[in-house]
Amino acid sequence: MRGLQDIVTNAEEWPGVEWPMIQEGGAKQEGEGDWGDFHIGMGGFCDDLNPPVGYWCSQNPPRGNCYDPVKRTSKGCTQTHMSPDGLNYGSLLPNAPNYKNATGAVIQAWRGGARWFTNQCLVRSQDKTAGTLLFDDKVGCNQGGEGNVGFYQWWIENVFEEVYSCSLLLLLLLFLLLLLLFLFLLLLLLLLLLLFLLLFLLFLLLLLLLLLLLLLLLSSSLLLLFLFCFQWA
């Protein structure tokens, strides 16, 4: 990290320029509007930017700096610009111990503390013993004006073992879907067979009624014929 230079300028250094130093109403937060001291920082944690200059490059921005450069910790509120060096995933990536090569993986993450911006970080290497992914300090991971020492929500992509794991899950879900479809068709077939059986039974019932009707008709005819013959005898 290169040396840090905080630059503060105001109306005294710009004579002849309309530069109010006090805002009407008594607001106290200066340095980012059109009044009061103008603050900007150069170098420091902004050495990954081109140019390495900006409001949040300062270690003492008017909006405050919750980052402690000695303890390297943050309270999660406003802080000077900085880019994370890596990610301590712990037990959050159960497939990580099986990564054959994590180089080239990509971490997408929301800024910790609030969703003000996202970081996209390229993984350079993995330390399986420590459970960390180390980022490439020359590619990305420096998005956003403010700094970031912790991710709020994040996910990993472009690593084979995670894709393979998802593929197995998709195959399992596809298998279950096909199994359910097979069972549905089987039940539908059984229902059709049952319906056919009911229709067949109904046909037999109608045939039985027809035979019964014919039997009654023949019996009546025989009875009439017998009576007719008996009468003439």
**What digits encode the pLDDT tens for the residues 83-107?**
888 999 989 999 999 999 999 999 9
Residue whose pair of structure tokens reads 């037999």 in the numeric block: 204
pLDDT digits (tens, 9 = 90+) for 177-230: 999 999 999 999 999 999 999 999 999 999 999 999 999 999 888 888 888 787
Q: Tell me which residue of 154, 161, 31 sits closest to 89, measured CA to CA.
A: 154
pTM over 0.85: no
Name residues whose C-beta falls within 8 Å of residue 53's C-beta, 6 or more positions apart in sequence. 40, 41, 42, 46
In angstroms, the CA 144 to CA 149 distance is: 13
**pLDDT tens digits, residue range 6-33?**
888 888 888 888 888 887 766 666 666 6
